[in-house]
Structure 1
Amino acid sequence: MRHYNNWINGQELAPINATFIERISPADGTALAKFPSSTQGDLEIAVEAANKLHLSGAWANLAASERAKLLVKFAELIEQNCEFLAKIEAEEVGKPITYARGEVMWSAELVKFAAALAWQIPGEAHTHLGENKLGLVTREPRGVVGMIVPWNFPMVCLFQKLPYAIAAGCPVVIKPSEYTSGTALEVAKLAKQAGLPDGLINIVCGKGSVIGDGLTRHPDVKMISFTGSTAVGKTIARTAADDMTRVALELGGKAANVVFADADLEAALDGVLFGVMLNQGEECVAGTRLLIEKSIADDFVAKLVERAKKVVIAHPLKDESQIGPLIYEQHYKKVLEYIEIGKQEATLVLDGSHPEGEDLAQGYYVGPTIFTDVKPEHRIFKEEIFGPVLAVTTFETQEEAVQLANDVEYGLGNGLWTKDIDKALQVSKQLQSGTVFVNTYLEGAAQMPFGGYKQSGYGRENGVDALLEYLEVKSTFIKLGQRTPVLPNTL
């Protein structure tokens, strides 16, 4: 079993109350790790360390090119430790290790991209404001940033925030999920090894009701970046409003994959299945609604069911595993409850609620589950299930497809499949979501911003926008040369 302490000011620090949270494997019930169950006192020490570094200017005033060099070293160390980090990620989350490896390497890529952005933090000089007048627009680090990270993608969700804040010059205090804190604590050690200064990355483990709430209320925390449920995001926004603390929220989703009859159907079959099964469906942008043109629906769904039956459900540390267990018992029961709700609302054509297998008996496993005849008023159409459960709804016109896709409160992502470029552009423009995938799903690039419309939050991660989230804009108006008298000269 791995035993961790908090990471504060460049070193491990035991929690003040000396109490810990034990993480049990969702795959087989074995004990994996112990994480601190921290208190407000632990948080105060971490924020003080981060704020001290910020006020000293040792990081904020360091040339951005020097910050970039250290970030590149950090990325290289993450890559070198990929297998070690992936194993922790797979065990704690329950995700297949092949996907965990990819996520670790992707996190390193995000660090490299943020390092490149550090070289070009934007600034402007306005030299045509009039005689002897100069205007400067500069961007400064916001200060201490609190980061609250979810359990489903502990590394990716953290690294869609962390390297951009560091590149901008901000120290951070991270509250990882109490279920999946391991990789955050391990990469903090790698950051120190890379030469990043003490106090820049601080990690305080514990319950969200204590540490997350404390971060949001702390007067020295100037920004909160949160990934998680819409309900919690709204609470954070309300709390942060008291001190006008800047908030960036990446929240829930109920994405649709819209498949038109003129699509490459073989590619669409793979994309739709991947979109709902990746990470056991525990993903905010999972494609859990299939909107399919009625003329091809029966054949498409029949083929989809056959492919879904071949998905390998196995222990996450097995290389052949494509679906692992859900995160913990309470969530497992919630997903099973939604499957029962779906049975009352629609037609069940593939039931993955109790997959068979000797290795699966002790874990929280749910396989791909598919419902047809799903209507917009059904709960499985509207509500985020966070499991590998697909709701299939048919449409007859392009306008109906768009209306169905937008008929949810969320707007994080959507996908569409068609060979008609005009249709692709028209529909993507009409879809109310921060990301639209065309003829692919869950594929992107570091240069592309990620975030939501509607109840899926505000603010952006990745791309140049991610860097700008952590920078304050300042205008400086300068009068040069001659003095302008305040009162007329009457002497």
Structure 2
Amino acid sequence: MLNASDLIAEYEKTGTLEALPIGHFIDGSFTQPAHNGTMESYDPGRGKAFARFTAGTEEDVDEAVRSSKSAFEASWRDVAPVERARILQRASALILDNQDLLAVVETLDSGKPLQEAYGDVRGAARTFEYYAGACDKLQGDSFPLGPDYIGYTIHEPVGVTAHIIPWNFPISTAARGFAPALAAGCTVVAKPAEQTPFTALLLARLLHDAGLPAGVCNVVTGTGTAVGAPLTRHSDIDHITFTGSVQTGRTVMKTAADDVTRVVLELGGKSPVVVLKDCDKEQALNGVLGAIFENAGQICSAGSRLVIERSIHDEFVGELVSRTRALQLGHGLAKPDVGPVNSAEHLAKIEGFLERAKARGANILTGGSVTSDPATGNGWFFEPTIVDAVPVKDELAQEEIFGPVLTIQIADDADDALRIANDCQYGLVAGIYTSDFAKAHQLARKIDAGQIYINEYFAGGIEVPFGGNKKSGFGREKGLEGLLSYCKTKSIAARIA
């Protein structure tokens, strides 16, 4: 197996990696289409290209969907659940065996610190392990219809599923869609983000190596226009799982309506972290920092709004600013506290939010500007930023910045914190820090969000259903509820007397 130190040394010497896949992964192997078009993939930490990958077309999508439909109808839906479980379990082990390669590639493609990439890879392995255990436990119900009848339900795989994977958590999001779909007996056609194509391709190969039949998991790379759009409108797609922006999610939903295709949408977030005066302050400080600065704030569920009681505001925020200023920026392979943002275009978007805020007279306590890797002067970086006392209707409090920018909103008490937390178009997750457990659960019931964290942000794991309310989307991934997203329930009633 390739180890991280050798991979990093190879990259430092050559500017690329020999182990990167070439072509789409279709029907059990990497294939290079006749048109042979390619695109560049960029290392955000350097701000320069490090590899090329295949730029797919509608014809490539057609080939991948045909392959997956054939594999579904000919074999995969009828494979015994216990055998599906064994394949997914072997895939989990192979991910761990190859974690150095996957983590280094994830860092180069997305920019995130290497230690975070390792966490994502291990989480992907755990996802396949979890759904391996669920394959042979997907059982229906029976109905009490009386002595003359028998009634029951069965869960059938929905069919060929399309997965549109975002650039911020490429392998994590791929795994949380692929694993339950495969466990349910569905086949997969995936389109990774054009900024981060490689780990989805590597994952598809590992699944095949684990015993997945050819065609059951296909990956086509390219742009949203050339690959994503024809995939989501394809008449042989039975389900779409999309993670991305609200704007693109609307388009996917409208497209799916033409063929009445099922969808799960995980869209944006502007999640509040409610910190009350009776919290464990050290616990809350660590939680708030991680909630917004992990992956440079490029997380749909990032805790991007700190809603804090007025009585502890000054002391808490003062310490928070001090710790934020101490964070070290750098290239992801150097394992910094905060890495770059994913692209020059996204960096400009973040900068635009802050420049408009400055023009409005925003109280920026720290950060607020574009910067670079202190070691090289290169890369797409934005300073870890805290903006204080932001009005509820300000765009910094309402719009998803998707960067290392924390907005502070001041509440008079817990009831006021609840009002502020809910005064937003999004409802993905929320955090609560308080030592009053009854109060925590009262707030958890009343905050309109799909998932609530109490006294630890990002608590839980693959076992916990995840998804949003309001403009954060609908449907749930992860947990057993995520498995049911890839099933259609059939009811059967029979007269037996």
Corresponding position of 2:263: 247
Q: What is the rounded CA distance, in whole Å, between the counterparts of 1:354 and 1:206 in structure 2?
A: 29
Aligned match for 1:292, one of 308, 312, 334? 308
Distance in 1, Cα, partners of 2:430 & 2:322: 24
**How many aligned positions are there?**
478
Say which SS state the counterpart of residue 402 (structure 2) adopts: coil
Post-superposition Cα deviations, 1:468-491, rounded to whole Å, max 9, x if no partner, equal 00001111121225xxxxxxxxxx
Counterparts of 1:48-127 in structure 2, within 5 Å, are: 48-56=66-74, 58-126=75-143
Equivalences for residues 372-387 of structure 1 within 5 A: 372-387=388-403
Q: Distance in 1 between matches of 2:152 and 2:475?
A: 25
Question: Which residue identity is paired with 2:34?
Answer: I
- The structural deviation recorded for 1:377 is 1.5
Equivalent residue number for residue 189 of structure 1: 205
Residue 412 of structure 1: aligned partner: 428
Q: Which residue of 2 aligns with 1:27?
A: 45
What is the TM-score of this pair, normalised by structure 1? Answer: 0.95
- Contact 2:373 2:379 (8 Å CA) reproduced: no
**In structure 1, what residue type is equivalent to 2:211?**
G
> Match of 1:161, SS?
helix
Counterpart contact for 1:342–1:371, Cα < 8 Å: no
Q: 1:447 & 1:273 partners in 2: Cα distance?
A: 24
CA contact (8 A) 1:7 1:202 kept: yes
SS at match of 1:317: helix
* Structure 2 match to 1:328: 343
1:279 paired with 2:295, answer yes
| 1:225 to 2:230 alignment | no
Spell out the pairing of 1:343-382 with structure 2 (5 A cutoff).
343-345=358-360, 346-355=362-371, 358-382=374-398
Per-residue deviation, residues 257-310 of structure 1 (Å, max 9, x unmatched) = 110000001111111011110101011011111111001101111100000011
Instruction: Report if the CA contact (8 A) 1:6-1:204 is conserved.
Output: yes
Match of 1:429 among 438, 441, 445: 445
Over 3 Å counting, the alpha-carbon distance change for 1:206 and 1:411 in structure 2 is: same
Please show how residues 168-187 of structure 1 align to structure 2 within 5 Å. Answer: 168-187=184-203
Amino acid at match of 2:469: Y
| Residues in 2 aligned to 1:371 and 1:30: alpha-carbon distance in whole angstroms | 31
Identity of aligned residues (%): 38
Structure 2 gaps, min length 5: 1-15
Structure 1 Cα separation of the partners of residues 33 and 372 of structure 2: 42
Unaligned 5+ runs, structure 1? 482-491
2:60 maps to 1:45: no
Q: Partners in 2 of 1:358 and 1:371 — Cα distance?
A: 23
In structure 2, the partner of 1:202 is: 218
1:12 aligns with 2:27: no
**Distance in 2 of aligned mates of 1:263 and 1:7:** 50
3-state SS of paired residue (1:164): helix
Q: State whether residues 4 and 33 of structure 1, in contact with CA within 8 Å, keep that contact through their aligned partners in structure 2.
A: no
Contact 2:71-2:216 within 8 A present in 1 as well: yes
Runs of 4+ off more than 6 Å: none
Whichever residue aligns with residue 71 of structure 2, its letter is L
- What is the rounded CA distance, in whole Å, between the counterparts of 2:328 and 2:231 in structure 1? 41
Q: 1:16 touches 1:41 (CA, 8 Å); kept in 2? A: no
Partner of 2:357: 342
Cα 1:356–1:165 shift into 2, 3 Å:
closer
TM-fit CA distance, 1:26 = 1.3
Which is greater in Rg? 1
Q: Which amino acid aligns with 2:352?
A: E
- Indicate yes or no: 2:54 matched with 1:36: yes
Paired position in structure 2 for 1:317: 333
Match of 1:488 in 2: none
